[in-house]
Amino acid sequence: MSYVLYLSLTLLAAIGDAANLNCPNNQWIEKSLNNSYIPGAAIVVVNGTHTLYEHAFGYHSISSPQLIDVEKSIFGLASISKTLIATAVMQLVEKELVDLDTDINHYLSEPHRRIFHPKYPSHSITLRKLLSHSSSIAVDDSIELGLYQLGDTAFGQSTLAEALFAHINPNTSNWLPKPPGTVSFYSNGGSSLAGLVVERVTNMSFDLYVKEKIMKPLGVDISKVGVRLADFSNRDELVKHNAYVFNASDFNVWTQGLPQLNVTKLSENFPTWLNIPFFGFSAYPSGLFRMSARSLSKFLQMFMNNGSNLISPKSIAEMKIIVGGGLIPYYDPSGIANASTIALPSFGLSWTWQTLKDGRRYVGHSGTLPGSRHWMLINEKNTVGVIVLSNGDSNVPSDRSKEYYQLLENIHLALFQCFEGELVK
């Protein structure tokens, strides 16, 4: 029996075990994380008003053992950061400072640098299209990886505007061969461009806007929220990025794919683990906010509680609506995505709907960066929200991503099953 098949069967059996009175099954979760070479994870379960469960598993760092702490361990949120962009945009919509369907060039105010599709210039790029990944912006993966730089150096090399205008302009090939609004395609660049609109309209850096206008009103200590390493007085609270390699070929993929990050073997005591130094990238709104699982849970509770005092219930509903009514196809000429056993998501405004293997729909967002993989989901009834932040890696080898997805899916299903008080069907 293959390792992956054995792991899948073990996890499926464990979901059944979690249905008994002894739930959540912390022992099973810990064993599952260990079996998938995940050093540590912080898990929080909430409803709109209360924390139902929180638990830390494993290690914040490996070489100098330090346990994960739900409150103190600060993770890079990866693409979960995109949900902050939509919240910021909807705040501006409520103040009538922006409109979701107005051409973003109106807000960028760059007469000599306009954003439009080179083949379809009459199809405007709007905030709705950016947030729902239907703008036809498709920056090449190699370009995005090239933006990763050690420490905070990326922020000194270019501003958010400079990084985006360099790669998202009509003189580049970073566009799909389809008119904006007719297909969907997951776009980090498009999401960050929406963050730039927030900057231009508010005359504040996007990261400062998030701290002052989103996290601070939620009662989060903004000294524990940031993007740059310099934002944190105690860098020991930042969760270390590591990756497990099965052979020399895996190690070579890392060193050749991200040579600028100087990925090395962790130590002689841990020869199968890699150390991924802290890094940043200038197009940060789409994937680099850093905070603890507990801080993120306050944001999730706001969303579940119809916006609390941050945004209106109408804006929450707007973010949940699938743009195009589910009729905008995903652009996948290779057929790779459609051939996957993992169901394609449906896009609202940064928040995405995902159908899991129980046949039910959940809304939230996942996130992946080198050395981390996360998932934040809410059930369709809006009664339970689950956050899993982990410092494991699913990038190398390539089949790790599917295995990791199944692991996070199984943990989420077990926790939903436990805290909904009903069997997952």
3-state secondary structure the chain: CCHHHHHHHHHHHHHHHCCCCCCCCHHHHHHHHHHCCCCEEEEEEECCCCEEEEEEEEEEECCCCEECCCCCCEEECHHHHHHHHHHHHHHHHHCCCCCCCCECHHHHCCCCCCCCCCCCCCCCCEHHHHHCCCCCECCCHHHHHHCCEECCHHHHHCCHHHHHHHHCCCCCCCECCCCCCCCECCCHHHHHHHHHHHHHHHCCCHHHHHHHHHHHHHCCCHHHCECCHHHCCCHHHECCEEEECCCHHHHHHHHHHCHHHCCEEEECCEEEEEEECCEECCCHHHCCCEEEHHHHHHHHHHHHCCCCCCCCHHHHHHHHCCHHHHCCCECCCCCHHHHCCCCCCEECCCCEEEECCCCCEEEEEEEEECCEEEEEEEECCCCCEEEEEECCCCCCCCCHHHHHHHHHHHHHHHHHHHHHCCCCC
pLDDT of residue 340: 66
Instruction: Considering only residues 395 and 165, tell me which one the structure prediction assigns the higher pLDDT.
Output: 165
Mean pLDDT over residues 391-415, rounded? 90
Q: Residue 273 burial by CB count (10 A; 0-12/13-18/19+): exposed, middle or buried?
A: middle
pLDDT of residue 174: 96
**Domains of the chain by residue range:** 3-80+223-242+289-420
Instruction: Considering only residues 323 and 424, tell me which one the structure prediction assigns the higher pLDDT.
Output: 323
- In 186-237, which residue ranges form alpha helices assigned H by DSSP? 188-202, 206-210
pLDDT of residue 255: 92
Mean pLDDT over residues 136-140, rounded? 96
pLDDT band at 169; cut points 50, 70, 90: very high
- Say yes or no to pLDDT of 268 above 90: no
**In angstroms, rounded to a whole number, what is the distance separating the alpha carbons of residues 365 and 345?**
10
pLDDT digits (tens, 9 = 90+) for 47-104: 999 999 999 999 998 888 889 999 999 999 999 999 999 999 999 999 999 999 999 9
| 8-12, 296-300, 309-313: least confidently modelled range | 8-12
Query: Under CATH, which number does the domain 3-80+223-242+289-420 receive?
Result: 3.40.710.10
Instruction: Considering only residues 334 and 225, tell me which one the structure prediction assigns the higher pLDDT.
Output: 225
pLDDT of residue 79: 97
- What does pLDDT average to over the chain? 91
pLDDT band at 339; cut points 50, 70, 90: low
pLDDT of residue 341: 64
Mean pLDDT over residues 129-148, rounded? 95
| 14-23, 26-35, 84-93, 360-369: least confidently modelled range | 14-23
- Say yes or no to pLDDT of 9 above 80: no
Bond from prior residue into 24 cis (ω within 30 degrees of 0): yes
- Say yes or no to pLDDT of 12 above 60: no
pLDDT digits (tens, 9 = 90+) for 405-414: 999 999 999 9
Length of the chain: 425
pLDDT of residue 395: 86
